[in-house]
Each structure stands twice: as C-alpha cells, then as structure tokens.
Amino acid sequence: MCQRSCFCTLPISGGFLSPGLALWYLMFVADPVPTAEAARTPLFRDPLSNLILQVAFVRAKIRACMAAIGRDGSKYGAHSLRIGGATALAFLQVPGDMIQAAGRWHSGAYLRYLRETRDNAVGTLTRLAGADTDDLEADFVAVDAHDLDEDDEA
C-alpha cells in the first residue's frame, strides 16, 4: 500500500490531465492529512473511514463520471484504468518493458490490456490499402503448397 510518504515525480501539466496537479490538490486541498498522520494514512482513502479505497467504490465513481459525460457507465469499471493506462502508453510508443513496470505486470500479460485506438486502426488500414503486394509464393516455393495439378486449374 502506498502511503503518503512515497516519493515520485509526476508531470504538472498534460494535454488532457495533470497528474501532479491532481495529486497536489488531493493531498493539500481535497483531503489534507496532518503531517504527523501522513506516513500512516493511505494515499487513496475514504476520508470518512480513513481506509484504503475499495474496488467497489472506485468502480462506482468511474461509472458515475462516465455517465456524467454521456457514456454508458455500465461498460466501465475499475479495471478500465489499467486498460486505459496501458493503451495510452502503447499509443505513445512506450516500450513494452516500461508498460509492464507501470502496470506492475511481471509477464507479457499487459498485452491483453492494450486496445487499438481509432487513429491507429485507420492508419493501419490506410497502409494496408496502399500496400503494393504480389503473390511471390511461386517464385520461392518449388512444390505446389496446395497440391494442385493442371487438372485442378480447369
């Protein structure tokens, strides 16, 4: 469990969100904790119970946020954060080992979390549609791979 005594550097600005600013706001404005209690207080906690956030609570908040912006909240859950984070890192062409480290995956399991973005899909299809390809199998294979002969061509 990450206590408020963990040290890391977060970006203060970003195109869509500011992790550093959001964390600063959480710690010093939305949910301040006395300095003497900081090392024993979970970073992400329920201020009413002082306990670490439970998955059900996070899921409910994500669904409420998605509904608030017009999305079907029932299609989202706490795991959406891992999927979204891994996909965003892959979109930014972050190496796989760094995606693994960010998500604390100890295997290639993170690959199951990557989702194709619309821009990547359109780019891939555009390159595919413009690819100049030939069937070169006959040039490199001495044996008919399909076991066809002249009678099959009729």
- Give the tens place of pLDDT for each residue, 88-140: 888 888 898 998 888 888 888 888 888 776 777 777 778 778 777 666 665 65
Q: How many domains does the chain have?
A: 2
Q: Which one has a higher pLDDT value, 18 or 62?
A: 62
Residue pair 38/4 in contact (Cβ under 8 Å)? The answer is yes
Instruction: Answer whether residue 1 shows pLDDT above 50.
Output: no
Q: Is residue 60 located within the same domain as residue 107?
A: yes
Q: Is the pLDDT of residue 73 over 90?
A: yes
pLDDT at 106: 85
Contact predicate 43/5, CB 8 Å: no
Q: Are residues 84 and 31 in the same domain?
A: no
Tell me the pTM.
0.54
Give residue 36's domain range.
Answer: 11-53
Residues 58 and 110 in one domain: yes
Domain co-membership, 79 together with 97: yes
45: its two tokens: 């906690």
Q: Are residues 77 and 100 in the same domain?
A: yes
Q: Do residues 36 and 86 share a domain?
A: no
Query: Which of 24-33, 67-76, 133-142 has maximum average pLDDT?
Result: 67-76
Q: Is residue 62 part of a domain?
A: yes
In a domain, 124, yes or no: no
Do 30 and 71 lie in one domain? The reply is no
Contact 86, 110 (CB under 8 A): yes
* 101 plus 49 within the same structural domain: no
State whether 64 and 80 are in the same domain.
yes
Looking at residue 30, what is its pLDDT? 87
CA distances from 128 to 41, 104, 123 (A): 53, 34, 9
Angle between helices 79-91 and 96-103 (to 10 degrees): 160
- Return the higher-pLDDT residue of 82 and 116: 82
**Residue 48 pLDDT > 50:** yes
15 & 45 share domain: yes
